[in-house]
Structure 1
Amino acid sequence: CGKSTLLNVSAGLLEPSTGTVRVFGEPLKGINARAGYMFQTEALMPWRSALDNVIAGLEFRGVPRDEAVKQGEEWLRRVGLGGFGDRYPHQLSGGMRKRVSLAQTLVMDPDIILMDEPFSA
């Protein structure tokens, strides 16, 4: 089985064909909430700014917008994109979009980060 399949099983996106998956000793059932997944292909929403892409997961979790924005701006700064939060994906270079995706993953504070060749380009 390919590495993408293994990553998808680790993330809980696919069921293993045989055996079991354990995360920190516990059987994985459904989506792996302890993992952040950075896909090989771009997963940014083109209608959302860089900042709004970064904070989407926080908003889905119910984090108040002002707190989500604060965390999102900090992560954009950490990946070298401070001041680019208002840009849309089509206004960013490929490398900048990858860093937005990285910030989008890290802002969720995952215990595990799964990466499918995120910097191959």
Structure 2
Amino acid sequence: MKKRLVACLLSVPMLGLALPAVSESWKPAPGEAKTQYDADFLRVDDQTGLIVLRIAEGKGGGPYRSWPAGKGPIMIFALDCAADKWMDLGMDFAGDKGLPKNWRKEAKLDDISGAAGKAGKMACETKDSLVKATLP
């Protein structure tokens, strides 16, 4: 949780995705009672092989559009599974933000599980079955 808070505090300004809006499908992270991940946002970047993931902490049913800021932000990460590193791509308070400009150049930090929790671990374990996309 501490690393997630650090990720929030270090976040960069967000810019909208250049892609059409994707639907949301919030699911509980395996083995975590309060963390949800957006299965529809989960993608593998064609250019780098990084996985983009967004998670939020909240009650069952998860966050949705207009998720109240008092419930905590939706956090966006890029995961480099082979190196066990993650990149902080910012926070989203309404469920409509995308990837920041030049997101591939963000600093990589150690320990995916420490930042993205079990949702990050699950994303890495299922990488081969995730949607591959050309991201901005």
Scaled by the length of structure 2, the TM-score of the pair is 0.25
Higher relative contact order, chain-length normalized (CA < 8 Å, sep 6+): 1
| Bigger proportion of residues as helix | 1
| Bigger proportion of residues as strand | 2
Structure showing greater radius of gyration is 1
Scaled by the length of structure 1, the TM-score of the pair is 0.27
